[in-house]
Amino acid sequence: MKQFRPKLVGLLTLLLIIHMSPVAWAMPKITNVTGTINDGQQITINGMGFGTVGPVIQLFDSFEKGALNNKIATTINSADIGNWTASDTGRYSDDFALSGSQSLKVDFSLGGLVYNHSLLRFQGVRNTDIFVSWWQYLPVNKVVPGSSGAEGPNWKWFWLGDEDDNWPWGSDFTITCMSDNNCDNIWGPSIQNDTELPKLSGNGYFSTTFQKGTWFRVTVALRNSSDKTGYIWYQEVSKNGNTIQADLTGVTTAHSTDPWNIFALPGYGRNDINAVLYFDDVYIATGDGARARIEIGETSTYSACKKLAIMTPDTWQHNQIKATVRQGQFKNNDKIYLFVIDSDGKVSSGYGPLIIGQSDNL
């Protein structure tokens, strides 16, 4: 009787392991979805290639839980998930809203600390990832903060850094709008006092798709790295398009002594009697799986979606995710497609069409 050769046995074993294990290089694939696609409901997403690690959600805030016109709450679990650490001039408002009926309103005529409108402090991110996403809105009859004064416009969309350093925060990241003409003069991410700055383009300036009077999503994914193993990924989404402004890898993003541990939204704005900003659906995740997420969009191709909403996962396995629906700007009976993005940023094909409000096995 013939015997298997050791090398052949080893090869067969390796092939069996590869077949049975989640394949790291495969694209995520959704095979079915169960549950009701409605805001706040839990659904189950089955498939393969989702990756073994999901995000650690630090914050999700739709601003629906706060009392109208009150200061943004900082008590435990005052947001949908988590809570802000500090708040100065930010208020719950129903002037404009992307989802639900309320948003965060920041009125720059009220003064206050320039970087303390809404702050989130979290356990320091060092040699791992952070993912932040939110929608922002500047009414057509208002201006970029500072535009009415002698110093001119200066609005930092966000500010991320190491609060343990003296102000400005160490290894800080921000995007700065320096024009009231739809932010056509804008500066991309850079590291404080670093001679090798990662830049979106040539000298750090780039063209944005931001426009007054339009809800506009900012999404930034970063890896904290002092040895050129970091990345910067930056996406803009609005009715004007879905644009990847940066997809840089192999870059230094922080000094070795600087974890990121604080996030401000907005990051900064000069006092201005004519400047009012609105923010909605703020999502912040950290950890090795920070970039992994579930999104819904209006078309089956993720890169073509001009309307997107991020769900919040409750559990994450390579072949199954349980998530809470956050339907964002989508309304009941809207047709949507569901996407799973893994921790490397690989995007599944859109699963659907599904209908907001529809339940059962989909």
CATH number reported for the structural domain that contains residue 198 in this entry: 2.60.120.200
Total domains in the fold of the chain: 2
Highest mean pLDDT among 176-190, 264-278, 332-346: 332-346
Segments forming the whole domain that contains residue 143: 56-290
Residues 145 and 167 reside in one and the same domain: yes
Distance of CA 289 to the CA centre of its chain: 13
Please check whether residues 62 and 161 belong to one and the same domain.
yes
- Residue 19 has a pLDDT of 44
- For tokens 């009787």, what's the residue? 1
Check residue 193 and give its pLDDT: 46
Residue 15 lies in a domain: no
pLDDT band at 246 (very low <50, low <70, confident <90, very high): confident
- Show the tokens assigned to 361: 């096995």
Residues 228 and 310: their CA atoms lie apart, in Å, by 29
Q: Tell me which H or E stretch contains 276.
A: strand 276-286
Side chain identity at 221, as an amino acid letter? A
What is the rounded CA–CA span in Å between residue 336 and residue 326?
13
103-107 and 276-286 beta bridge pairing: antiparallel
Q: What is the pLDDT of residue 119?
A: 78
Helix ranges (H only) for 153-194 are: none
Q: Which of 284, 248, 233, 234 is nearest to 125 (CA)?
A: 284
pLDDT at 65: 97
The verdict on 46 and 117 lying in the same domain is: no
* Residues 271 and 325 occupy one common structural domain: no
For 36-67, what is each residue's pLDDT tens digit?
999 999 999 999 999 999 999 999 999 999 99
pLDDT at 200: 52
Residue 91 lies in a domain: yes
Q: Are residues 303 and 178 in the same domain?
A: no
User: Domain boundary residue among 290, 311, 345?
Assistant: 290
Whole-angstrom distance, CA of residue 132 vs CA of residue 130? 7
Distance CA 30, CA 231 (A): 27
Supply the pTM of this predicted model: 0.90
Q: What is the CA radius of gyration of the chain?
A: 22
Tokens linked to 62? 């739709």
Q: Are residues 273 and 320 in the same domain?
A: no
Summarize pLDDT for 143-154 with one digit per residue, the tens: 999 999 989 999
E strands of 126-271, at which residues?
129-137, 155-162, 170-177, 186-187, 205-206, 216-223, 230-238, 241-251, 260-264, 268-269
Has residue 159 got a pLDDT over 50? yes
In terms of domains, do 309 and 235 share one? no
Please state whether 58 falls in left (phi above 0), alpha (psi between -120 and 50) or beta. Answer: alpha
- pLDDT at site 89: 84
| pLDDT value of residue 13 | 41
At residue 280 the predicted structure's pLDDT band, cuts being 50, 70 and 90, is very high
Residue 176 to residue 312: CA distance in whole angstroms: 28
Q: Concatenated DSSP letters for 292-306?
A: -EEEEESSSSGGG-S
**What per-residue confidence (pLDDT) applies to 106?**
94
At 361, is the pLDDT very low, low, confident or very high (cuts 50, 70, 90)? low
Q: How confident is the model at residue 163 (pLDDT cuts 50, 70, 90)?
A: confident
240 phi and psi, to 5 degrees? -85, -10
Q: Which of 143, 151, 134 is nearest to 264 (CA)?
A: 134
Residues 196-208 have a mean pLDDT of 62
Q: 45 by DSSP, 3-state: which? A: strand
pLDDT in tens, 251-261: 888 888 889 99
Residue 3 forms part of a structural domain: no
Q: Tell me what pLDDT residue 3 has.
A: 47
Residue 217: phi and psi, rounded to 5, are -100, 130
277 plus 299 within the same structural domain: no
- What are the beta bridge partners of residue 104? 92, 279
